């Protein structure tokens, strides 16, 4: 059943700009470094002996913002596909469980964001190679840099999807989303337990993997809570 729902959901997001946004996020992040390195490459290369590492840290400073912003826009857009003509009543009148309908929406977004992360890795590597940052390619760091923030951001995805799915008014998820973006922007001063800090991979132990584990664990909990709440409610 979930396979059928997924292929229907991928059909429904056609011509809605989902793929464009999926591309725009990682491209934007790398494009900012294109400007940065394009303007003052010599200065930046002087800043550190590890040119690749320094380049990756520059890239990573914009990843959390891009991911959180992307999540807010995509979740709301996803809900609006069904909200626009109140197609929820049509979807749920089909022989599908509400749980799988919710899971399908979540999966589509998770897949799109994962695809974004893959693109981020490709763009990062490509521009890094173009800059000629040295022969020692830090593959492991590159993978971590591209995918750790994705896993750490799953709780935000689960939360925003929940709010977007059950809100009659998309103003509500947009509001919480903007707050989330502000939180993410100020990740440096946030306490470790705030989920908006996690995509920045900062914590007091300096172990990014903790954020990934927390992201997956809390993400699953928030996902289940959202799905239960969605199932319990009468269809809009």
Partner 1 sequence: MEYVVQTENLSKRFGKEDAVVGLDMKIKKGEIYGFLGPNGAGKTTTIRMLLGLMKSTSGTIQIFQKDLKKERISILQRVGSLVENPSYYPHLTAYENLEALRKILGVPKTRIHEVLETVRLSDVADKKVKGYSLGMKQRLGIAAALLNNPDLLILDEPTNGLDPSGIIEIRNLIKRLPAETGMTILISSHLLTEIDQMATTVGIVTKGKMIFQDSIDALRMYAQQKVLLKVSDSEQAWRSLLGKGIKSEWHDGIISLAEHSNEKVAKAVHCLVQDGFSIYRVEEEKRSLEDIFLQMTMEEKVR
What are the distances in angstroms from CA 30 to CA 38, 75, 147, 176? 12, 23, 15, 27
Burial 76-96 (b: 16+ CB within 10 A, else e): bbbbebbbeeeebeebeeeeb
Of 46 and 97, which has the nearer Cβ to partner 1?
97
Q: CB of 8: closest distance to partner 1 in angstroms? A: 4
Of 77 and 118, which has the nearer Cβ to partner 1?
77
Q: CB of 84: closest distance to partner 1 in angstroms? A: 6
Q: CB of 17: closest distance to partner 1 in angstroms? A: 10
Torsion sign across C-alpha atoms 60, 76, 24, 158 = positive
Q: What's the per-residue H, E or C state across 183-230?
A: HHHCHHHCCCCCHHHHHHCCCCCCCHHHHHHHHHHHHHHHHHHHHHHH
Q: CB of 140: closest distance to partner 1 in angstroms? A: 40
The residues of the shown chain that bind partner 1, judged by CB under 8 A, are 4-5, 7-8, 11-12, 14-16, 81, 84-90, 92-97, 234-235
| 104 φ/ψ angles, rounded to the nearest 5 degrees | -65, -45
Of 62 and 88, which has the nearer Cβ to partner 1?
88
Q: Any idea which residue has 């991911």 for tokens?
A: 67
Of 4 and 40, which has the nearer Cβ to partner 1?
4
Between helix 63-83 and helix 171-185 the angle, nearest 10°, is 170
Q: CB of 236: closest distance to partner 1 in angstroms? A: 9
Q: CB of 21: closest distance to partner 1 in angstroms? A: 15
Tokens of 169: 């008014």
Of 92 and 110, which has the nearer Cβ to partner 1?
92
Of 168 and 206, which has the nearer Cβ to partner 1?
168
């Amino acid at each position: 059943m979930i396979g059928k729902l997924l292929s229907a959901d991928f059909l429904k997001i056609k011509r809605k700009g989902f793929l464009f946004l999926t591309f725009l996020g990682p491209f934007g992040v790398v494009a900012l470094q294109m400007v940065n390195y394009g303007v003052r490459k010599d200065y930046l290369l002087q800043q550190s002996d590890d040119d690749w590492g320094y380049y990756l840290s520059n890239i990573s400073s914009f990843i959390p913002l891009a991911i959180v912003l992307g999540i807010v826009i995509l979740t709301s857009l996803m809900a609006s596909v069904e909200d626009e003509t109140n197609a929820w009543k049509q979807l749920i009148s089909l022989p599908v469980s509400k749980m799988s309908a919710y899971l399908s929406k979540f999966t589509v977004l998770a897949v799109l964001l994962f695809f974004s992360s893959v693109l981020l890795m490709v763009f990062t590597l490509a521009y890094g190679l173009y800059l000629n940052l040295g022969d020692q390619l830090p593959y492991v760091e590159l993978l971590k840099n591209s995918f750790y923030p994705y896993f750490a951001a799953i709780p935000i995805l689960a939360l925003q999807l929940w709010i977007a799915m059950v809100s009659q008014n998309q103003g509500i998820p947009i509001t919480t989303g903007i707050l989330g973006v502000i939180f993410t922007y100020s990740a440096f001063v946030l306490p470790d337990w705030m989920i908006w800090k996690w995509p920045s991979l900062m914590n007091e132990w300096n172990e990014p993997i903790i954020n990934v584990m927390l992201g997956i664990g809390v993400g699953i909990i928030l996902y289940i809570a959202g799905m239960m709440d969605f199932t319990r409610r009468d269809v809009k």
